[in-house]
């Protein structure tokens, strides 16, 4: 059985993963609106991955004798100042999520909940990957500078994900 504090924290993270998916879908629509279909497609795939993360929390909650609870999902922004500003938010968001996963791990360890700690290990590793992949795109965006041609080249590259 899950302790109520752990169950509540896992449900909070389930909601945050759904928000991540929602945020990236909103960004996918934004990039599509500014004619960057590669960025749009990259974020659409990312949104699907976040939904997968949410389902891992859903399944673990259920398997561990808790109950997944569907709370309201916060509405993400609709507009961004530009392609670089939007992607900077992706990078910042992933860093924030890493902090949430680490806080969850701290809680699982403090409560001596070994099963939850082992479940969370996958997310600790996943966040290293998420920060790496989003950081790489951001570095490429920085390198593009003000060149529209390079931006379209990067967009074409991201369409291949």
Q: Which part of the chain contacts Fe ion (CB under 5 A), choosing from 105-113, 122-130, 136-144, 151-159? A: 122-130
| DSSP labels, 110-157 | HTT-HHHHHHHHHHHHHHHHHHHHHHHHHHHHHHHTT-HHHHHHHHHH
Q: Please identify, using beta-carbon distances, which residue of 20 and 151 lies nearer to Fe ion.
A: 20
130 near Fe ion, rule: CB under 5 A: yes
93 near Fe ion, rule: CB under 5 A: no
Angle at 38 between CA 34 and CA 44, to 5 degrees: 95
Mask for 47-76, x = binds Fe ion (CB under 5 A): ---x--x-----------------------
| Residues constituting the chain | 161
- Nearest CA among 67, 135, 129 for reference residue 101: 129
Q: Please identify, using beta-carbon distances, which residue of 80 and 152 lies nearer to Fe ion.
A: 80
Residues 2-21 that bind Fe ion (CB under 5 A): 17
Contact residues toward Fe ion (CB under 5 A) are: 17, 50, 53, 130
């Amino acid at each position: 059985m899950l302790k109520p504090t752990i169950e509540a924290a896992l449900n909070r993270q389930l909601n945050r993963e759904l928000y991540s998916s929602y945020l990236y879908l909103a960004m996918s629509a934004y990039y599509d609106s500014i004619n960057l279909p590669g960025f749009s497609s990259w974020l659409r795939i990312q949104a699907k991955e976040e939904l997968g993360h949410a389902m891992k929390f859903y399944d673990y909650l259920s398997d561990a004798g808790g109950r997944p609870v569907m709370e309201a999902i916060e509405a993400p922004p609709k507009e961004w100042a530009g392609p670089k500003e939007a992607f900077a938010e992706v990078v910042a968001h992933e860093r924030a999520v890493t902090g949430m996963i680490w806080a969850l791990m701290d809680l699982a360890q403090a409560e001596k909940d070994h099963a939850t700690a082992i479940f969370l290990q996958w997310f600790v590793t996943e966040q290293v990957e998420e920060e790496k992949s989003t950081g790489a795109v951001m570095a490429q965006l920085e390198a593009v500078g003000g060149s529209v041609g390079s931006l379209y080249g990067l967009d074409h590259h991201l369409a291949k994900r």
